[in-house]
A and B are shown apart, each in its own frame.
Chain A
Amino acid sequence: MLNNIFLLMRQELTLSVLIFLLLFIKLGRERSNASILNFINIALLLNLIIGLLLSTKGDLFSGMFTTNALIILEKNILNLAVLIISMQSYAWLKNNNQVIEFYLLLFTSLLGMFFLISSGNLLIFYLGLEMSTIPLAAAANFDLSKRKSSEAAMKLILSSAFSSGILLMGISFLYGTSGTLTFSILTAHIGNNPLQIFAFILLVSGFAFKISAVPFHLWTADVYEGAPVAVTSFLSVVSKAAVLFTFVSILYKVFQPIASTWYLILMILAVVTIFIGNLFAIRQDNFKRFLAFSSIAQVGFILIGISGSSIAGSASLIYFILIYVFSNLAAFGVVSVVSALTGKENISDFKGFYKTNPLLSWVLTIALFSLAGVPPTAGFFGKLFLMMAGAAKGNYGFIIFAALNMVISFYYYLRVVKAIFMEENETPIEKISIPLVSKLAMYICLVGILVTGFATIVYDYIYSLSFGL
């Protein structure tokens, strides 16, 4: 039993160990930021490796904690993302005197996400959710001096509290109608009665809030803009990914009985999300805000994929998220480096960027192309497979709409590329010397972007795992 725990929960355990180590380091004598950061990055790498080692499946605590190959894979993706983020934020954290606090918050929230993903019970689910959100609210406020930072944190904590209130209401109704909190049992009691539909809608709205689907998305842009870049990228990639994983597994497993209903709901959400996200993204000048809205639009496409409600659906979702991790983090990486070293965060500042920083420009461009879904980047495949999964239901009006919206999204991504390559700027961003670690992270992202698409093994692997869903 015990070694079974060590086996099944190893990712959570390593992470917790790491957290405690950080606490002790904090208590211990002063150390240079650089050494701490290196230690943490190495630790994260180990964590990732440990996760990759072997994949098992099983339940713990009478089904409250379940895990299987797919879930482990998902957690690994999250680990990878966190590793990349921490490598990228090297430049920002190097002369920040609360590095450890920052990581503590980050890791706690990550730990929460792990529990969230492998939750087999509404209670754990709720705990994981909150555990992943609350530290982030604190982290969003990490630039204590910045007005925007605190405003962002306030908005995040209040709206997330509100949403969790709504979510809990839903859970309580589910409990009331079914009398159980365990997913496996719950499924049997799910039917089409109004109260459960209502409960389900409340639950979905809670999810929609976390993955920032319209109209539950409004906090996103502000928080992304206000929070430090590292936190923003964490929010936009990691927490979104975690919630999506859970969302899909809950939809497919627990709420299969009312699939026809949630298919419609997802469709409505997807359409509105893509459309609003695109329309807002067109106008943005602040890079983080821009990425916020673009990622909202991306979520819309993800919802299309999920709505396929098939193995292909979940497979394409995970595949896309893997790619999304690379592309979005590459973009954020460049932004974080630039904003950390020059404090410039606006697209208009990036005019003539290519003249001064060709490497960064190419990284950013490729990342954006991948986000836009242009071959030969992986984004093309990811987006395409999502659409294909969605089209499987045969609702083509929906696909046409999405396809045409891809053109709009294409417009605003190209807008940035245009600024970088084609526009003149009297005060361009000066040549930036990137820390080695961050450069490494960028290369990882690049390789990911360029390889993941062609390496069919990735998709096939995910697909094969998705049966275990």
Chain B
Amino acid sequence: MNLSLLILVPLITALVILFAKGLKQIRVIGLVGAVTQLSLATWLLKLYMGERASGNNDTHLFESNYTWFTTLHINYHIGIDGISLAMILLTAVIVVAGILVSWTMDKLSKEYFFLLVLLSMGAYGFFISLDLFTLFFFLEVAVIPKFLLIGIWGSGNKTNSAMKLALMLMAGSALVFVGLMGIYYSTNTFDLVQITHMGISVGVQKFFFPFAFVGFGIFAALFPFHTWVPDGHASAPTAASMFLAGISMKLGGYGCLRIAALMPEAANSYGWIIITLATIAIIYGAFATMMQTDLKYINAYSSISHCGFVILGIGMMNKTAVNGAVIQMVSHGLMTALFFAAIGMIYSRTHTRLVAQLGGLLKVMPFISTVFVIAGLCSLGLPGFSGFVAEMTVFMGSWQNPSGAYRLATILSGASIVVTAVYILRATGKTIMGPISNEHALLADATWNEKLAAGLLITGILIIGLAPFLINQLIMPSTNILMSPITKAITLK
């Protein structure tokens, strides 16, 4: 199948939305587009597994490569491996859910849905592109919609949050750009595949790796460049927060992974820094979360902590850990989207997100409360949910690294699961359980679209959590292909 469809469908959806009239039409169009995309993605998954089953061991499948700017060696080169396919599926699911939860967005709905779809298009393009320039292009395509979504439809101190987010992400992409320049002028191409074959001289790697990695790291809330995360997520409208945490942060993680795979020696020699930062992010994020009083801030900070695991896994540079990192990306995407959805539902009813003002919601809105609890349990890594699978894989992988310092990092990050338990249970205990306040005593439970959205995300979480071998089948071959030359290269050195 031609992967460009993955970009075309959102594009067409967006254009049709531009000519639609009224919220009713717009949201239906948006939903149709999103569902089409989701079914496309699932079909793609089927094809992909088929190919692999039939013994196709290429790194990337469904490749197609068109020249874009001849003289600058810029190609429109697309293709997927297991990792990107997982990301695409994640994106598709979250988009559907996001459109469902913003079903009643009546303020400037046309622009709203348009931007949502545009954002998703950026993500799809990012995940399928095998050409660094295209990658970068789509990375930046995804930035502006966030700015507008937060700034126009947000809540609280929205403009500042939007500005901060946009600027920090732009700084990130500027750093990425510097890194790309370095790669480009040392290999004279942007093509990921070719570069991987050529390899980059260690000197160049040493100089440019930090730029590219930190650049993507900013997207992935790498400590200490994470400060856009809390405000951004907190101010964003529900769907936007879902997209931010569920999709946009994954762009960063995915980018970090690709960069690390492109520059293995550098990644290895800077590994201790990466891992230190990741560990700090995990612990620090967890403790910071413990102190938050606003549900959205709680989730935002916990995202910092969870994305730390992604970085940790990548920093460890071995198959298992990287595998874990990828699973963690997917899992965190679904989980945090679910969490934000639940928070959004609660907020839209109670008009407060402050833990202190909530309580006993389980009495009046059992469904939403259950969703909330499930998200929480997933986030504290309970078996049966995706979080457990991901985190355990990361632990296992990073423990395989015999160096004492890395072990210490693993233990410390492991300790975060206790803190996670603390803050999740505190939030749950205060909001879902306990006595209910009178003004909330008559609130209604979720509507069909919200139920559908939550159900979709929960299904994803459960599929990973109950049958991790499925996602492993998808991801592991690719991570092996990705990492095996690298481990060689490192050991050679």
Chain A interfacial positions (CB closer than 8 Å to B): 312, 315, 369, 374-376, 380, 384-385, 387-388, 391-392, 394, 396, 399-400, 403-404, 406-407, 410-411, 414, 417-418, 421-423, 456, 459-460, 463
Contacts and interface: CB of A to CB of B under 8 A. Distances in A.
Nearest to A385: B72
A399 B144 contact: no
A391 B181 contact: yes
Interface residues of B, number: 33
Interface string B152-196: 100000110011001100110011011001101100000000000
8 contacts: A312-B71, A387-B177, A391-B181, A400-B178, A403-B174, A417-B147, A421-B152, A423-B159
B89 to A, nearest CB: 25
Given A394-B185, A399-B181, A407 B174 contact: yes
Nearest to B151: A422
A387 B173 CA distance: 14
Contacts of A423: 159
Interface of B is mostly: helix
Contacts of A384: 177
Given A374-B143, A410-B167, A414-B166, A312 B159 contact: no
Contacts of B137: 375-376, 380
Contacts of B9: none
A422 B184 contact: no
Contacts of A410: 166-167, 170
Nearest to A374: B144
A374 B140 contact: yes
Given A404-B171, A407-B171, A422-B151, 10 more contacts: A312-B71, A369-B144, A375-B137, A376-B137, A392-B185, A406-B170, A407-B170, A411-B163, A417-B148, A421-B148
A460 B73 CA distance: 12
A421 B167 CA distance: 17
A417 B145 CA distance: 12
Contact of A388 (B72, B140, B175, B207): B72
A375 B171 contact: no
Contacts of B151: 418, 421-422
B177 A403 contact: yes
Contacts of B68: 456
B178 A403 contact: yes
A392 B188 CA distance: 10
A396 B178 CA distance: 8
B159 A418 contact: yes
A129 B167 CA distance: 40
A414 B181 contact: no
A456 B70 contact: yes
Interface string B121-152: 00000000000000001101101100110011
Given A312-B72, A460-B71, A375 B140 contact: yes
Given A312-B71, A406-B170, A422-B158, A414 B177 contact: no
B448 interface: no
A384 B162 CA distance: 24
B69 interface: yes
Contacts of A387: 177, 181
Nearest to B174: A403
A418 B163 contact: yes
- The secondary structure that dominates the A interface is helix
A456 B143 CA distance: 24
A456 B70 CA distance: 8
A240 B340 CA distance: 50
Contacts of A460: 69-71
A385 B72 CA distance: 9
A391 B147 CA distance: 29
A366 B426 CA distance: 46
A244 B70 CA distance: 25
Nearest to A408: B167
A418 B151 CA distance: 7
A459 B143 contact: no
A410 B137 CA distance: 16
A392 B143 CA distance: 27
A463 B71 CA distance: 8
Contacts of A407: 167, 170-171, 174
Contacts of A312: 71-72
Given A312-B71, A388-B72, A456-B68, A375 B181 contact: no
Contacts of A374: 140, 143-144
A465 to B, nearest CB: 12
B175 A403 contact: yes
Given A399-B178, A407-B170, A391 B185 contact: yes
B203 to A, nearest CB: 13
A267 to B, nearest CB: 16
Contacts of B178: 396, 399-400, 403
Contacts of B185: 391-392, 394
A223 to B, nearest CB: 31
A107 to B, nearest CB: 36
A421 B178 CA distance: 31
Contact of B181 (A376, A396, A418): A396
Contacts of A375: 137-138, 140-141
A463 B68 CA distance: 14
A411 B147 CA distance: 12
Contacts of B138: 375
A422 B162 contact: yes
Nearest to B177: A403
Nearest to B142: A375
Contacts of A417: 147-148
Contacts of B177: 384, 387, 403
A158 to B, nearest CB: 39
A460 B143 CA distance: 28
B144 A411 contact: no
Contacts of A376: 137, 141
A418 B158 CA distance: 11
Contacts of B148: 417, 421
Contacts of B71: 312, 315, 459-460, 463
Nearest to A423: B159
B228 to A, nearest CB: 13
A414 B72 contact: no
Interface centre among A400, A404, A407, A411 (most CB of B within 10 A): A407
A387 B176 CA distance: 13
B140 A380 contact: yes
Contact of A459 (B69, B140, B182): B69
B174 A422 contact: no
A403 B68 CA distance: 23
B153 to A, nearest CB: 10
A208 B211 CA distance: 33
A376 B143 CA distance: 11
A313 to B, nearest CB: 12
